[in-house]
C-alpha cells in the first residue's frame, strides 16, 4: 500500500474521479418512502374527515329543538274539576294537561274549538311531552293553578323535523307526516317568533322515550358514569397490583410464563365473549340484577384489566434498572424500591394506559347487549343496581328507530360519545407530556 502511494507515477494523475456510491438510488428510495408515508396519512385523514363530516352534519341539529311559546291558562276547571286536590294528590298527577296546551295553541292561531278535525291536527303540533312538563310545573307549585303562564313547549317530532327542513314538503301531503295545514300554522308561528329552535337541554336530561323529542341521553350518561367509576375503582388497583407482582416480585417460571401468555390472550378475546361470561357468572350464578350498571361495570372491568396490566408492565419495565440498583444499593427494601422510586416513575405510563383502557370501555357495546343493558329505561338509575343503559348502547337503540328525528339524535349521541373519548385521550396525552421523565 505505502509503496504504491510513494510511487510518483501513481500520484501524478491529479483528476479526482468521484466514486459512484449509489447516492441517487438512496435518495430516490428515501423520497419514495416519504411518499408512501404521506399517502398513508392522507388516506387515514380522509376517512377521519369523512366520518366526522357525516356524523356532525347529521348530528349537529340534534342539539337544537323546535319549541313553541304559548300562554297556557292553568284552568282549575280542567286540572281539578271536583276540587279534591287537597285530599287526593293523584289529581294533580293525572289531570288532562294536554287539553290546556291545545286550547292555548288554538287560541293563539284562532282555530275554533268546535272544529274537531282541525283541533286534532293542531294538537299534533305540540309534543305529548308537554303533559309531563305541565305536570311537574303544577305539582311543584299548586298555587299556579288559575294563573296564565308563558311557557316554551316542545313541538312534536315530525314538526321539529319539518321546521328544520328535514322533511321534503314538495311531496303530496298524503305521503308525508306533516299536513299542509300544519305547515301553514308552523309558518305563522315562526313569523310571530313564537316558534323557534332552542338549545336542546333535554338531549342530556331525558331518559328513554318512544317520542324522539322527549328522548335523551340522561339515563345513558349516568349508566356510563357509574360503569366508568366501577371500572376505574376495580381495574386500576387490581391491574397495578398484578403487574407489580408479576414484574417485580414473581420469579420467572413456567407458571408466570403461562400467566403472561394468558393475559396477552385475554386482551385479544372478543368483547362479546366477556358479555356471555358476565351473563353466566354475574347474573345467573351470583344473581345480580339484569340491565344494572354494576354488572356492566364488572364485565367492562374484566375487559379492561388485560389492557391496564400490559400498559403497567410496560411502564414498569421502562424504568431504568439503574434507579432500582441505586435504591437497593443504599439499603431500600424491595417494597420501598417499588413504591418510592419505580411506581412514581411509571405512574404517567400507568395512567395513560388506564385512560386509554377506560376510553375503550366507554365505547364498548357488545358485552352490554348480552347483560340486558339494551333496555327501555325512562327513569334515572339511583344506584348502580338500578336498570340503566350506556352511551354506545343508546346509539345502537336509536339507530334502530325509523323517525327522522331519531336519525339526528343518533348522530348527536355519537358526537357526545366522541367528545368524551377525545377529552379522555387528550387528557392521557397531557398527562404523558407533563409527567414524562427523560434520563
Partner 1 sequence: MNLMTERSLEKAVNDKMSAQVNTIKMQGKDVTVHYGEKQALFGVSLDVPEKMVTALIGPSGCGKSTFLRSLNRMNDTIEGCKIGGKITLDDEDIYNPKIDVVELRARVGMVFQKPNPFPKSIFENVAYGPRIHGLAKNRHELEEIVEKSLRRASLFDEVKDRLHEAGTGLSGGQQQRLCIARAIAVSPEVILMDEPCSALDPIATAKVEELIDELRQNYTIVIVTHSMQQAARVSQRTAMFHLGNLVEVGDTEMMFTNPTEKRTQDYITGRFG
The least distance separating partner 1 from the CB of residue 429, rounded to whole angstroms, comes to: 21
| The only residue of 336, 379, 383, 426 in contact with partner 1, by rule CB under 8 A | 336
Binding flag, residue 242, partner 1 (CB under 8 A):
no
| The only residue of 15, 252, 254, 433 in contact with partner 1, by rule CB under 8 A | 252
Residues 6+ apart with CB under 8 A from 252: none
Stretch that binds partner 1, among 46-54, 59-67, 331-339, 373-381 (CB under 8 A): 331-339
Binding flag, residue 255, partner 1 (CB under 8 A):
no
The least distance separating partner 1 from the CB of residue 250, rounded to whole angstroms, comes to: 11
CA distance 66 to 53: 23
| The only residue of 124, 135, 176, 341 in contact with partner 1, by rule CB under 8 A | 341
| The only residue of 332, 366, 369, 378 in contact with partner 1, by rule CB under 8 A | 332
DSSP states of 99-167: HHHHHHHHHHHT--TT-HHHHHHHHTTB-TTHHHHHHHHHHH-GGGTTSEEEEEEEBPHHHHHHHTT-S
Q: Where are the alpha helices (DSSP H) in 164-291?
A: 180-192, 202-205, 218-244, 254-268, 271-278
Looking at residue 282, what DSSP letter applies?
I
Stretch that binds partner 1, among 74-82, 289-297, 340-348, 395-403 (CB under 8 A): 340-348
The least distance separating partner 1 from the CB of residue 253, rounded to whole angstroms, comes to: 10
Nearer to partner 1, 203 or 319 (CB): 319
Given a contact cutoff of 8 angstroms between Cβ atoms, the answer to whether 92 and 79 are in contact is yes
- From 90, 96, 175, 159, select the one nearest 130 (Cα to Cα): 96
Binding flag, residue 318, partner 1 (CB under 8 A):
no
Binding marks (x or -) toward partner 1, 196..215, rule CB under 8 A? --------------------
Question: Number of residues in contact with partner 1, rule: CB under 8 A?
Answer: 21
Binding flag, residue 327, partner 1 (CB under 8 A):
yes
Residues 6+ apart with CB under 8 A from 127: 153, 154, 155, 156, 157, 211, 213, 214
CA distance 330 to 92: 76
Binding marks (x or -) toward partner 1, 375..404, rule CB under 8 A? ------------------------------
Binding flag, residue 439, partner 1 (CB under 8 A):
yes
The kind and range of the H/E element at 198 are: strand 195-199
| The only residue of 135, 164, 324, 360 in contact with partner 1, by rule CB under 8 A | 324
CA distance 70 to 104: 6
List residues near partner 1 by CB under 8 A: 251-252, 320, 322-333, 336, 340-341, 345, 437, 439
Amino acid at each position: 500500500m505505502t509503496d504504491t502511494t510513494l510511487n510518483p507515477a501513481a500520484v501524478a494523475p491529479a483528476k479526482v474521479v468521484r466514486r459512484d456510491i449509489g447516492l441517487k438510488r438512496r435518495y430516490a428510495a428515501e423520497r419514495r418512502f416519504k411518499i408512501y408515508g404521506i399517502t398513508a396519512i392522507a388516506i387515514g385523514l380522509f376517512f377521519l374527515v369523512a366520518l366526522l363530516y357525516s356524523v356532525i352534519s347529521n348530528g349537529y341539529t340534534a342539539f337544537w329543538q323546535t319549541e313553541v311559546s304559548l300562554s297556557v291558562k292553568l284552568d282549575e276547571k280542567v286540572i281539578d274539576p271536583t276540587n279534591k286536590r287537597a285530599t287526593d294528590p293523584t289529581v294533580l298527577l293525572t289531570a288532562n294537561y294536554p287539553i290546556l296546551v291545545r286550547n292555548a295553541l288554538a287560541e293563539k292561531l284562532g282555530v275554533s274549538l268546535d272544529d274537531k278535525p282541525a283541533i286534532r291536527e293542531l294538537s299534533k303540533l305540540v309534543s305529548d311531552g308537554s303533559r309531563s312538563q305541565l305536570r311537574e310545573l303544577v305539582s311543584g307549585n299548586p298555587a299556579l293553578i288559575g294563573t296564565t303562564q308563558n311557557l316554551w313547549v316542545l313541538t312534536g317530532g315530525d314538526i321539529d323535523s319539518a321546521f328544520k327542513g328535514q322533511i321534503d314538503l314538495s311531496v303530496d301531503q298524503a305521503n308525508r307526516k306533516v299536513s299542509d295545514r300544519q305547515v301553514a300554522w308552523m309558518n305563522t308561528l315562526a313569523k310571530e317568533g313564537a316558534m323557534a329552535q332552542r338549545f336542546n337541554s333535554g338531549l342530556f336530561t331525558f331518559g328513554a322515550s318512544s317520542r324522539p323529542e322527549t328522548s335523551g341521553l340522561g339515563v345513558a350518561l349516568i349508566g356510563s358514569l357509574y360503569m366508568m367509576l366501577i371500572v376505574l375503582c376495580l381495574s386500576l388497583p387490581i391491574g397495578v397490583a398484578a403487574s407489580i407482582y408479576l414484574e417485580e416480585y414473581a420469579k420467572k417460571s413456567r407458571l408466570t410464563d403461562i400467566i403472561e401468555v394468558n393475559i396477552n390472550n385475554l386482551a385479544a378475546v372478543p368483547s362479546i365473549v366477556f358479555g356471555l361470561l358476565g351473563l353466566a357468572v354475574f347474573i345467573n350464578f351470583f344473581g345480580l340484577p339484569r340491565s344494572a350498571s354494576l354488572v356492566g361495570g364488572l364485565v367492562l372491568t374484566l375487559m379492561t384489566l388485560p389492557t391496564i396490566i400490559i400498559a403497567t408492565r410496560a411502564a414498569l419495565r421502562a424504568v431504568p434498572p439503574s434507579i432500582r440498583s441505586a435504591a437497593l444499593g443504599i439499603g431500600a427494601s424491595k417494597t420501598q424500591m417499588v413504591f418510592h422510586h419505580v411506581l412514581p416513575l411509571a405512574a404517567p405510563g400507568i395512567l395513560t394506559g388506564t385512560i386509554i383502557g377506560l376510553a375503550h370501555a366507554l365505547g364498548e357495546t357488545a358485552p352490554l347487549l348480552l347483560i340486558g343493558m339494551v333496555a327501555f329505561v325512562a327513569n334515572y338509575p339511583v344506584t348502580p343496581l338500578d336498570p340503566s343503559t350506556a352511551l354506545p348502547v343508546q346509539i345502537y337503540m336509536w339507530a334502530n328507530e325509523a323517525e327522522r328525528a331519531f336519525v339526528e339524535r343518533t348522530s348527536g349521541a355519537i358526537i357526545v360519545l366522541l367528545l368524551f373519548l377525545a377529552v379522555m385521550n387528550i387528557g392521557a396525552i397531557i398527562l404523558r407530556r407533563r409527567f414524562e421523565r427523560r434520563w
